[in-house]
Amino acid sequence: MTDLWPRIEPLLAKVEKPARYIGMERGSLRPTHRPEQVSWLLVYPDTYEIGLPNQGLQVLYEILNERDDAAAERAYAPWIDLEAQLRANSIPLFSVDTHRSAGAFDVLAFNLSAELVYTNLLSCIDLAGVPVRSEERRPEHPIVIAGGHCAFNPEPLADFVDALVMGDGEEVVGEITEVLAAWKRGGRKNREAVLRDLASVPGVYVPAMYDVEYDGQWLRAITPKHADVPAVVDKRTVADLGEWPYPKHQLVPLVEVVHDRLNVEIFRGCTRGCRFCQAGMITRPVRERPWEQVRTMVRDGLQRSGYDEVALTSLSSADFSGIDGLVADLVNNQEGTGCVGLSLPSLRVDAFTVGLASQIQKVRRTGLTFAPEAGSWRLRQVINKLITEADLYSAVEGAYEQGWRRVKLYFLTGLPTEMDEDTLGIAELGRNVVEIGRRYNKSASCTVSLGGFVPKPHTPFQWFGQNGVEELKRKVFMLKDALPKKSGVQMRWHDPEATFVEGIASRGDRRIGRVIERVWRNGGTFQEWGEHFNFGHWMDAMAAEGLDPDWYVTRHRTDDEVLPWDHISAGLHKDFLWQDWQSALAEHGLPDCRWTPCYDCGVCTDYALEHVVASTVAPAGGSQGTGQDLTLGAEVPVTFRPRGERSELAGATTGPKGSAGYAGAEGVRPA
């Protein structure tokens, strides 16, 4: 009926890596679609190799397919060669599971993890045979939904996406399914009515239900059109990760993809409070997966998938309560699993981390990555990445001493208050790291990877004027000059022009939608791929829409400015963020609130949530490796779950939310 395979198959001999389009991954499903079910097409608007490992998409794929009233399949953006073939042969976007036409689904649900994929989103909608603008869609067209971190500033996509979902998707996809199932039962008549129903689902933002007022180029207000539409859309948060042991059947692709291994999410959220990090801000609070469940998911996942590597994923995996014990357990109990590798992405910079790493990588110690993010202690206090040089050097020394030969360091440039001496501090760190390494190994090397900083919504840096292209280029080349080949430090950097375009979309308002559409119509897809990125398309489109790129990107915002995402809440109070921004400018760091009394950022208190951790003991090395004394004598705001206990949230709460005075932390707490 809608199986497009016979038409797609002849094209696959003519394209690169055709196995990207055949599906059939271990763990994948071939749903049959019943009329009363709501059919979801989960689309990752980038290549299969990037999109397939996405855990969010895989989690929702399983949860939806477990429901009687839903069926879900997957699609990925076809690469340029196949897209041209599809268009030339009038074949629409298709699912990889049953090669069903995208337009035959009730929902097209997009995962948004980066701004530069926005033009691909339009490309996929269009390729599905659906009008790219929401207002032109009719009742027979699929409902277009998007979620993921970028959804927290939904405005640039407001013209194209019918509904955006804020926060964790596990629960809300079911509620959306129920709304759409009722709409289908009623004959799928009025698109406006179903969008209004969706707008009343907590966590769902329907742009068409809001009026946007401007005052010249200034945004004045974004207000709901109807009384039953919320003025502020709050994010959704899964209180207990232990209730959601997904994916249970992680997909095993037939072609090599990024992160090609078993991935087990060990906790969600992070309260280290790095001020540049949107993920850490919008995913609060910390929710650890029960220890025993992690073990089960690792064991079952390896057995089902045949993978020989597992990654324990999170925003800062060394912070998982009892991580050393868990790692020892996984490394030492491998009967039946063959030679299994274990990896811990996103590690903090300290000796504890190196100890963990050496437990894991008993052989083949080639490369280890740390992210100090800034070149001086002053600037690291500004961004609240509280790593001292001593932390870094002892971590690096430990690494080289124990046999690693290559250390990779991640840095950002263009950070608030950054001066040339901060940027050049990166060179000094790099050179010192090489010098330490050469004491242990003549071929020791260090790679510095430099990204341009893009201020993100819902972070303390959302008011900061991003560095322009010329300024970023100046800093990149200044650093490059300070790291000649003989220094032994290799340097890589992100294209400052791409950083600038990310800045347009990151903090853009609804008017940026027309820019995205123009770039797409000019053929600007796969913009996150260097060979396809076209800065000229973006500047031309801004000019054609009469918009000033610098006003969007490099301008500092003031505290009274209406921000395009003020009607979206990640739970963080705007005054908390402003206060933290002021602390940043005053060079004050802020320790992790997991083990210190509450700063009242707003998330736990407003949403009646708590950190869920398996230990009330702060990790070895203190907060961010600074050795700070975290035993401050006050109750800490966590739900304690003894190791191995399954999702019994009631029970051993340590006490009321800490509102006690914060003694002994002067100089760290914001003034």
Segment contacting other proteins (CB under 8 A): 21-29, 143-151, 410-418, 632-640? Answer: 21-29
Closer to other proteins by CB, 85 or 369: give it: 85
Segment contacting other proteins (CB under 8 A): 158-166, 251-259, 475-483, 510-518? Answer: 251-259
Site string for other proteins, 352-371 (x = CB under 8 A): -----------xx-------
Q: How near is the Cβ of 439 to other proteins at its closest, in Å?
A: 23
Is residue 336 part of the contact set for other proteins (CB under 8 A)? yes
The interface with other proteins within residues 562-621 (CB under 8 A) comprises none
Closer to other proteins by CB, 18 or 465: give it: 18
Alpha carbons 543 and 500: distance in angstroms, whole number:
15
The interface with other proteins within residues 230-249 (CB under 8 A) comprises 249
Helix (H), strand (E) at residue 300: helix 291-305
Helix (H), strand (E) at residue 59: helix 55-66
Q: How near is the Cβ of 246 to other proteins at its closest, in Å?
A: 14
Is residue 644 part of the contact set for other proteins (CB under 8 A)? no
Q: Which residues contact 447 (CB under 8 A, 6 or more apart)?
A: 406, 407, 408, 409, 489, 490, 491, 492
Closer to other proteins by CB, 98 or 283: give it: 98
Closer to other proteins by CB, 23 or 230: give it: 23
Among 139, 186, 325, 338, binds other proteins (CB under 8 A): 338
Sign, CA torsion 564/569/570/572: positive
Total count of residues recorded for the chain: 671
Q: How near is the Cβ of 50 to other proteins at its closest, in Å?
A: 17
Among 2, 4, 7, 21, binds other proteins (CB under 8 A): 21
Is residue 133 part of the contact set for other proteins (CB under 8 A)? no
Pairing of strands 70-76, 38-44: parallel
Do 51 and 98 touch, CB atoms closer than 8 A?
Answer: no
Distance from the Cα of residue 96 to its chain's centroid: 24
Closer to other proteins by CB, 9 or 421: give it: 9
Is residue 258 part of the contact set for other proteins (CB under 8 A)? no
Q: Which of 193, 180, 204 is nearest to 36 (CA)?
A: 180
Report DSSP letters for 541-593, one per residue. Answer: HHHHTT--HHHHHTPPP-TTSPPTTTTEE-S--HHHHHHHHHHHHTT-----T
Distance from the Cα of residue 399 to its chain's centroid: 28
Q: Which of 527, 535, 528 is nearest to 500 (CA)?
A: 535
Sign, CA torsion 276/277/283/287: negative
Q: How near is the Cβ of 336 to other proteins at its closest, in Å?
A: 6
Segment contacting other proteins (CB under 8 A): 1-9, 486-494, 570-578, 614-622? Answer: 1-9
Closer to other proteins by CB, 247 or 496: give it: 247
Site string for other proteins, 92-131 (x = CB under 8 A): ------x---------------------------------
Q: What is residue 92's DSSP assignment?
A: -
CA distances from 231 to 134, 207, 560 (A): 21, 12, 18
Query: Which amino acid type is present at position 149?
Result: H
Is residue 665 part of the contact set for other proteins (CB under 8 A)? no
Site string for other proteins, 287-316 (x = CB under 8 A): ---------------xxxxxxx--------
Is residue 442 part of the contact set for other proteins (CB under 8 A)? no
Closer to other proteins by CB, 61 or 267: give it: 61
Is residue 23 part of the contact set for other proteins (CB under 8 A)? yes
Is residue 343 part of the contact set for other proteins (CB under 8 A)? no
Alpha carbons 668 and 428: distance in angstroms, whole number:
26
Is residue 216 part of the contact set for other proteins (CB under 8 A)? no
Do 224 and 247 touch, CB atoms closer than 8 A?
Answer: no
- CB burial readout 24-60, b (16+ within 10 A) else e: ebebbbebebeeebbbbbbbbbbbbbbbbbbebbbbb
Is residue 530 part of the contact set for other proteins (CB under 8 A)? no
Is residue 71 part of the contact set for other proteins (CB under 8 A)? yes
Q: How near is the Cβ of 347 to other proteins at its closest, in Å?
A: 22
Task: Residue 617: count other Cβ atoms within 10 Å of its Cβ.
Answer: 12
What's phi and psi for 142, nearest 5 deg? -65, 155
Is residue 254 part of the contact set for other proteins (CB under 8 A)? yes
Closer to other proteins by CB, 306 or 664: give it: 306
Is residue 560 part of the contact set for other proteins (CB under 8 A)? no
Is residue 1 part of the contact set for other proteins (CB under 8 A)? no
Q: Which residues contact 344 (CB under 8 A, 6 or more apart)?
A: 311, 312, 317, 318, 323, 327, 356, 357, 360
3-class secondary-structure state, position 596: coil
Do 412 and 372 touch, CB atoms closer than 8 A?
Answer: no
Q: Residues in the site for other proteins, rule: CB under 8 A? A: 5-6, 9-10, 12-14, 18-19, 21-32, 34, 65, 71, 98, 249, 252, 254-256, 302-308, 336-339, 363-364
